[in-house]
Structure 1
C-alpha cells in the first residue's frame, strides 16, 4: 500500500498573490446569495455582552464563515466526544490502550505529509502564552522562532478575554499592536522581526456559551478557528506566512479527520491552494499516542508537526488509566521526562514524525526565572538538562513559558542542530528497538509523600482561584502553571484516594484526610498571599470546587468544565 503525497505548494510570494487574487475575484463576482447561505442566515446568535472593538473581528464575512462551519461541522462534534466515552468505558473495564489493528496499512504505508512552509522549517524554540496584549508583544519579540498564542490551557475564556484576544491577534498580524502599562507607563511595541505566529484554538470538549447556532452553544474550537482565519489569512499570506494553528487534546484519528474536513472546506471556499492552512497537533492524550501515524495521515495535506504536550499527557495517563490499580503515579515532581513511559513517548513521536517528513516538537519548560541569582542558576540548569534530553532524542524544537528561558533553550538546540541544518529531520531513530504499547504504559516509581500531596492542594487551590477570576496562566512556586499542571495536581490525589494508597509516612489517603489537608492548606495559602488578597479573592469558592472534583466518585474529565460555569457566571 503506497500513498504518495508531494509538496506542490508554490513559493510563498506566488501563493500569497494567487490566494489574494482568487479571493478578490470571488468577492467581486458574488452577486447573489446561495440557497445554502440563505438557509443559515440569522441562525447564529451572539449572546455575550458588547466588547470594545469587537466590530473589528465580528465582521460580516467572519460571522458568515462561522455560520457555515457550524452548519457543516458542529453537529459532528458530539459523536466524536461520544466515541471518547465509549473507548474510555472499555479501558475502565480492563482493556489497555494499544495500536489499532484496523489501521496497520497506514502505519506500514509509504507516504509523506504534503510539506512544510519555509517560515515553519525552523522552530527550535517556541514560546507559549495567553492572547493578552502585553504578552503577545513580549512573546513575539523574544529570542524564539515561534509564538503560540493560546486560547486554551493558559487562557481562562471569559467572553471579554476571548474577544479581546482575537482583536489583539488581528493587530499583531497587521503589525499595529502596542501597549502602555497603566502602572508604570512603559510602552510596548513589536520589533522589526517578530516570531512566527501560531494560534492554538480550544479543544473539541469545550463550548463557547456566548455564541449559539440554532439555540445551542457552539464548539469553541470553531469560534476560535473561524475568527482567526478570516480576520488574518490575507495579511499572513501577503507577507509570506500563513494561517497556522495548534490543535489540542485530540484523542483519535477520527478527530483529526474532522479537522482535515474543516480545513479543506475553508480552503475550497476561499479559493486557496490545498494545504495553505497548516497545523501542529499536540499529542497530549494517552489515546492519541497510539494513533500518531494515523493522525498525521488524516491531516497529511495540512499538518507540519506533532508536539509532546507533556503535562497534559501525564494528566491523561492518570485519567485514562484511572481504574487500573497497577498504573498509579507518584508525586508530580517525580514524574520527569527521563522516566521510561515518558521517554518512550518522546522517542516514538520523533521517530514517527521524521519518518513522515513532519517536525517533532518537544514539551514545555514550565520554570520561570528567579530573582535571586543562585536560585536562577539552578532554574537554568534544570532547563538545560531538560532541553538537552529533548535535543538528544531528536526533537526539532521545544517550548518555554517565559522569555527569560529562551536564550538557554536556543543555545542548546543551536548546538545540537548545528550550522548546516535548521531542524533534526535527518535523525530517523531507525536503529532504535521497536517501542511497544507496554513501553508507553509503564508506571514510574517514586514516593507518594505528604509534602507532595500538600503542594498539590496549594497549587490546585491557587490555580483554580485565578482561573475563575479570569487568569489562566499563573506563576506559583517558580513554575508557570496552566490548566494542565493543575489537572495533574488534583487527579493525582483523586487516584490515590480511589486506590487507597498510603503516603510515605504510612497515612492512608482518604476523602477525610484530603478534606483535613484542604482546610489546613487553605489557611497556609491565606498566609502566603496575605489577608487582603485572600479576602478579595475567590479562594473559598476554589476550595469548594476542588473538594467537589477531588472527592467525587467519578473522575471529572476537566476542571475547566465546572470552572467555566463559575467563570461565565462572573463574567457573563
Structure 2
C-alpha cells in the first residue's frame, strides 16, 4: 500500500488487516509528517554527543532563562512547578508492582503467542507494561503480533478467553507448589485487576514494515503509538481503564515536547480530550536527569510519573562520558542503585516527582526492575528472593510508589513489601526541592572505587554474546547468566532485555579504549592487579567465552543458533568493542541483521554501518531487507 505519506508491503497489509485497520492507516497518514521532526531530533542528539566529545565537556543544566524547545515554557518556571500537570487517574493510584514483558513470542501461532498476555493479566500485578521496545523480539512480524495479541486480549476475544482459562490453572498449580496457595480465585474477574500499559519504541528506532514514500526509514514511535491507541482506546475506555504509555530513551525536554505534540495530535484526531493519554517516562538517559522538571512540564497533562532503572541508565552514562579517558566503570555487578552517580540520579528523580505543579499535583515514582526468577536450587532461590525483597524494601523506604518485576512469578513475592505498608502511593512525600549547582552536576557522574576484574570481564562478555544471540532468535527478553555458571542451580538466571547488551559492550569498550586497570590478580589469565585491560586480553577472553557457548547444551544455547545467530553476535560484539569511535547504539547492529543468518552478509552490514557512522555520523536504522 502506498499513499502520499507511507509505503507498506501488500503482504503485510493482507496478513494484518486486523491491525492495519482503515482507521489506523488514516491516523498513520495524519501523523506521518512528524517523521521529519523525529529525524531532526535524532540528528540533534548525535550533534550534541559529538560536540561534547570534541570539546571534552560534560552535560550541563539548562539556562534557567531559556525556554524548553517546541514550547513557550520558561525553564525557570518549569523548575518551580509553574505548569499544569496531570491528575493521577484512579487505576494508576496504586501501582505497587508493575510487571513487564512482551505480548508475543517468536515464530508462534496466536494461541501460543497470546499466552504472554494471559500470564500478565492474571499475575496479580497492579500494572503490566506490555513492551513494544527492549523486551520485544523484532524478527519477522513480531511487532505486529504484539499489537494483534493486545487487541484480541483487551477486546476479550473468545480465543484469548480460552487461553486465559487454561493459563490460570497452570499459574495456580505453580503457586500452590511454591507459595502454598492459589493466587487466582476467579480468572475472569482477575483479568480486570491489572492496569494495562504499553511501552512504545523510542525515537531512535525505525519500523521494519513501513517506510516513507521517499524510501526513508519511518519512526517506530509513530507506528507503535498509533497502532496501540487506535486499536485499543475504545475497549480500554469501555472497561474504565486509562490509556497509559511508557516513553523510553528520552534525552531532553525538547524531545519530551515532541512526544507531547505527537500525542496531542493523536488525541485531537481521535476526538479525545487533551490529556486523555497518560505517560510515564523511563529515566534511562543521563541528559534527561539534568532536565527532569523540564520534561514534566513539556509533557504537561499527559505526564504521570518517572521510572528509574539500572542498565539503560548506566549505558547512557558510559556513552556520555566516552570522551573522558579517566572515566572508567568497575564491574557491572558493583554498580547498584546505591553506587555513586546512581544514588544521585535516583534522588533527583524522587525530588522531581514530588515537586507540585500549579494545581498542587505531584507525580509517581516507579522503582527499578527486579530481574530474578524463582527457578533454581532451593538455596539459590531463597538467597535471590531475599535479595529481591530487600531491594524492594529499600526502594519503598526511599519513596517509590512501586517497582517492576520481569516475570509474573515474582509478583506475589515482591508485592507484599508495599502491601504490608498499605499506602496506595507516596505521592507528594516531602523531599527537598531540586537544586542545580556544580556539585549536583558532578554527582551525576560520580564514580566510586570498586572492583574491576577478569571475572567481571568474562561475565560482561558471556552475557553480551548470549544476549546478541537471543536477539537474533527473536527473544529480546531472555533468561541469562554467565557461561561459567551453566549447570549451577545456585546461581539463578536473570531476565534481561536489550539494555543488558548495550551496557555490557559499553563497559568493555571503555575498558579497552581507556586502558582500564584491573584491581586483583587472576593467575589463570596471567594478569595481576594494576595490569591494563589490553586488546590481547580482550581477544583471549572473547575466544574462551565464545568457546564455552559453542560447547553449552541446548538448554543454555540453542544448538540451531551455534552456526547462525551466535557467530553473528560474536562479529557484532567484536566490531563494536574494537571500533575506535564509540558507536551510539549496539541495537543498531543487531537490528540491521534481523532475519539474517549468514555470517558473511552480517559482516558486510557491520562494515557498512561502521564506515557510514565513522565518516558521516549517520546511523543506519532502516530495515535493509525492506
Does the TM-score normalized on the shorter chain lie above 0.5? yes
Maintained 8 Å contact 2:97/2:411: yes
Distance 1:253 1:532, change over 3 A: closer
For residue 445 of structure 2, what is the aligned residue in structure 1? 441
Matched, 1:378 2:350: no
For residue 499 of structure 1, what is the aligned residue in structure 2? 514
Gaps (5+ residues) in structure 1? 1-39
Maintained 8 Å contact 1:48/1:159: no
For residue 105 of structure 1, what is the aligned residue in structure 2? 77
Q: Distance in 2 between matches of 1:159 and 1:463?
A: 18
Q: Distance in 1 between matches of 2:100 and 2:542?
A: 31
Maintained 8 Å contact 1:113/1:303: yes
Cα deviations by residue, 1:142-180 (Å, 9 ceiling, x for unpaired): 121000000111112224101110000101211232576
Distance 1:554 1:48, change over 3 A: farther
For residue 453 of structure 1, what is the aligned residue in structure 2? 457
Shift of 1:193: 2.9
Maintained 8 Å contact 2:315/2:506: yes
For residue 22 of structure 1, what is the aligned residue in structure 2? none
For residue 548 of structure 2, what is the aligned residue in structure 1? 524
Cα deviations by residue, 1:70-108 (Å, 9 ceiling, x for unpaired): 12x111012111221122123312211122113233213
Counterpart pick for 1:156 among 108, 128, 137? 137
Matched, 1:269 2:288: no
For residue 327 of structure 2, what is the aligned residue in structure 1? 327
Range with greater deviation from structure 2 (327-336 or 421-430): 421-430
Moved >4 Å (runs of 4+) = 178-181, 184-190, 431-435
Matched, 1:293 2:293: yes
Maintained 8 Å contact 2:84/2:301: no
For residue 80 of structure 1, what is the aligned residue in structure 2? 41
Cα deviations by residue, 1:271-317 (Å, 9 ceiling, x for unpaired): 21111011111110000011110000010111111111321001111
Maintained 8 Å contact 2:466/2:566: yes
Q: Distance in 2 between matches of 1:431 and 1:301?
A: 21
Distance 1:382 1:473, change over 3 A: same
Maintained 8 Å contact 1:51/1:160: no
Would you say how many aligned residue pairs link Structure 1 and Structure 2? Answer: 528
Counterpart pick for 1:429 among 428, 431, 434? 431
With normalisation by structure 2, the TM-score equals 0.80
Q: Distance in 1 between matches of 2:390 and 2:287?
A: 28
Q: Distance in 1 between matches of 2:31 and 2:287?
A: 27
Matched residue SS, 2:300: coil
Distance 1:194 1:185, change over 3 A: closer
Maintained 8 Å contact 2:81/2:293: no
For residue 534 of structure 2, what is the aligned residue in structure 1? 510
Matched, 1:146 2:166: no
Shift of 1:57: 0.9
Counterpart pick for 1:361 among 361, 366, 378? 366
Shift of 1:526: 2.0
Taking only aligned residues, the RMSD between alpha carbons, in angstroms, comes to 2.4
Matched, 1:89 2:53: no
Shift of 1:433: 8.7
Maintained 8 Å contact 2:103/2:131: yes
Q: Distance in 1 between matches of 2:591 and 2:560?
A: 22
Distance 1:454 1:256, change over 3 A: same
Shift of 1:533: 4.8
The residue correspondences of 1:210-225 to structure 2 (distance < 5 A) are 210-214=209-213, 215-225=215-225
Distance 1:402 1:109, change over 3 A: closer
Q: Distance in 2 between matches of 1:205 and 1:288?
A: 15
For residue 471 of structure 1, what is the aligned residue in structure 2? 475
Shift of 1:442: 0.3
Matched, 1:46 2:8: yes
Cα deviations by residue, 1:28-70 (Å, 9 ceiling, x for unpaired): xxxxxxxxxxxx9453221384488511111111011011111
Matched residue SS, 2:369: strand
Matched, 1:566 2:593: yes
Gaps (5+ residues) in structure 2? 67-74, 105-113, 172-186, 357-361, 482-492, 522-527, 598-624
Counterpart pick for 1:398 among 386, 399, 403? 403
Q: Distance in 1 between matches of 2:244 and 2:265?
A: 16
Cα deviations by residue, 1:391-445 (Å, 9 ceiling, x for unpaired): 1110111001112221232111223xx33x3100131213899871112110132
Maintained 8 Å contact 1:128/1:149: yes
Q: Distance in 2 between matches of 1:51 and 1:153?
A: 25
Matched residue SS, 1:452: helix
Distance 1:175 1:444, change over 3 A: farther
For residue 539 of structure 1, what is the aligned residue in structure 2? 566
Distance 1:567 1:431, change over 3 A: closer
The residue correspondences of 1:116-195 to structure 2 (distance < 5 A) are 116-132=88-104, 133-176=114-157, 177-178=160-161, 191-195=190-194
Shift of 1:532: 3.6
Distance 1:413 1:51, change over 3 A: farther
With normalisation by structure 1, the TM-score equals 0.87
Distance 1:108 1:144, change over 3 A: same
Q: Distance in 2 between matches of 1:550 and 1:48?
A: 39
Q: Distance in 2 between matches of 1:367 and 1:521?
A: 23
Q: Distance in 1 between matches of 2:128 and 2:405?
A: 10
Matched residue SS, 1:567: coil
Q: Distance in 2 between matches of 1:456 and 1:85?
A: 26
Cα deviations by residue, 1:526-554 (Å, 9 ceiling, x for unpaired): 22335945545521111111101111111
